[in-house]
Amino acid sequence: MTAQWTHVNDWLRVYTGMGPLVIFTGLMVLLIILPLLVFWGNASLSRILSNRSVERAQILKAFAYAVIPVALFYHLAHNGMHFFMEAQAIVPLLSDPFGFGWNLFGTAGLSYGPLLSLESIWWIQIDFILIGHVYAVRVADRIGRTVFAHSKKMLPGLVPFIGTMVLYSGLSIWLIAQPMVMRSGM
């Protein structure tokens, strides 16, 4: 729901002549595969930096848990914006839950503004992303102490994953800073 997504989507449709569903699906597959490839590359680099003391598959499985907080807190940040901007709309809906024109509680015609200002919401979103990032780094540190316990190269083995978390958190902040482009379909 960003202008960049719409621009790339439209450009690919013109350039390839493919339909919107094909382009949308292809871009979504790319957005799923790209972070996985980055993560796989980091597992390979981590294995090299830790003197190949641990197998890549073990590194991948173990450190996958470390990026969950980044994703979870980004999700909370993104949906927090929707909550603080739109949650008050529930008050009129309570009087007319099915759209039949009812006014059960006398609130059907009421209108409320956002719960918080956009600036306040922005800082809450940043806080969520930073909390997720810090938590992810702590989880990665604990995992690193377990996975690389017999290696004297724990810190070098962690560096690629800490870099990945910085990248993911930076992208999260950039993404929530983008204006949303509302759409009603593809």
**pLDDT, tens digit (0-9, with 9 covering 90-100), for 23-67:** 999 999 999 999 899 999 999 999 898 877 788 899 999 999 999
C-alpha distances out from residue 96 to 47, 86, 92, 114, 157, Å = 59, 17, 7, 20, 57
**Mean pLDDT, range 151-164, rounded to an integer:** 85
User: What pTM, to 2 d.p., does this model score?
Assistant: 0.79
Reported as a pLDDT band with limits 50, 70 and 90, residue 182 is: low
Query: Which of 26, 9, 1 minimizes the C-alpha distance to 79?
Result: 1
**Where do we find the tokens 């059960």?**
104
Domain positions in the chain are 38-177
| pLDDT at position 183 | 61
**Where do we find the tokens 């809906």?**
93
Check pLDDT > 60 for residue 19. Answer: yes
Alpha helix stretches (DSSP H) within the chain: 3-16, 20-49, 56-64, 68-86, 90-95, 118-147, 154-177
Q: What is the mean pLDDT of the chain?
A: 89
What six digits make up the tokens of 74? 């980004």
Question: Which position has the higher pLDDT, 153 or 49?
Answer: 49
Check pLDDT > 70 for residue 106. Answer: yes
Contact 74, 171 (CB under 8 A): no
Check pLDDT > 70 for residue 186. Answer: no
